[in-house]
Chains A and B, each alone.
Chain A
């Protein structure tokens, strides 16, 4: 079975631009969460979505937004990019029922560099 997939793998943007990152969950998983991992630190929770609704939000500014589609894939959008947004963006999916409910499986990430 395919794992969580993310695109693109790498991205270079300029300050002030916006970016869209994409994530496809494991088949059967209805929940998608997004994390930001700055170099040398642990991942920080940004959003969780399931059933196309936001179910949780971390301490990130309104420049960060996301959505989930009927096929459970998700997009993370970041507007007005800052240098400090340079990070690895990780997507994780999980089921919402059963023995492994909310057990997060991570994709390989998108490396965003803001110059």
Chain B
């Protein structure tokens, strides 16, 4: 079945460092791909998405490119801030359904 694998955390960075969180997926067909962020004590917020190969999703300085050849959707940010500290989830959706399949999440801690 479909699945998502994320790099294990926690990831600890200093402010203004470059961030990469790896995400790879297994799916039949052509899924849509998402990154969600979860701040402490809150629900999930959609950060960015891409719906077809080579699409780049971007928001708030974060970006990720849908790479069909490597089945990857890595999250990047050029300069992280303390306020980016949260748990990041990669997810996929196959077809027109409400079913998202999530990775296990990666905790990011940014230190001043």
Q: Which of B89, B99, B103 contacts A48 (CB 8 A)?
A: B99
A104: B residues at CB distance < 8 A = 46, 93, 98, 100
The smallest beta-carbon distance between A66 and chain B, in angstroms, is 12
A41 engages B100 (CB within 8 Å): no
B49: A residues at CB distance < 8 A = 103
A48 engages B97 (CB within 8 Å): yes
Stretch touching chain A among B14-22, B37-45, B66-74, B78-86: B37-45
15 residue pairs A–B, Cβ–Cβ below 8 Å? A31-B98, A33-B99, A33-B100, A40-B105, A42-B104, A42-B105, A43-B100, A48-B99, A55-B97, A55-B98, A56-B99, A104-B100, A106-B36, A107-B43, A108-B43
Using A32-B98, A41-B104, A48-B98 as known contacts, list a sample of 12 further A-B pairs with CB atoms less than 8 Å apart, ordered by residue number in A: A31-B98, A33-B98, A41-B105, A42-B91, A42-B102, A45-B98, A45-B99, A102-B93, A103-B46, A104-B93, A104-B98, A104-B100
A108 engages B42 (CB within 8 Å): yes
B residues sitting closer than 8 Å to A (CB atoms) are: 4, 36, 42-46, 49, 89, 91, 93, 96-105
Report the interface size class on chain A: 20 to 34
Report the nearest A residue to B36, measured CB to CB: A106
A109: B residues at CB distance < 8 A = 43
Q: Using an 8 Å CB-CB cutoff, how does the interface string of A71-105 with B read, 1 for contact, 0 for none?
A: 00000000000000000001010101000011111
A92 engages B98 (CB within 8 Å): yes
CA distance A5 to B96 in the complex (A): 24
The smallest beta-carbon distance between B88 and chain A, in angstroms, is 10
| Interface core residue of B43, B97, B98, B100 (most chain A CB under 10 Å) | B98
B104: A residues at CB distance < 8 A = 40-42
Using A42-B105, A102-B93 as known contacts, say yes or no to A90 and B44 having CB atoms under 8 A apart: yes
Using A42-B103, A42-B105 as known contacts, say yes or no to A101 and B96 having CB atoms under 8 A apart: yes
CA distance A109 to B91 in the complex (A): 18
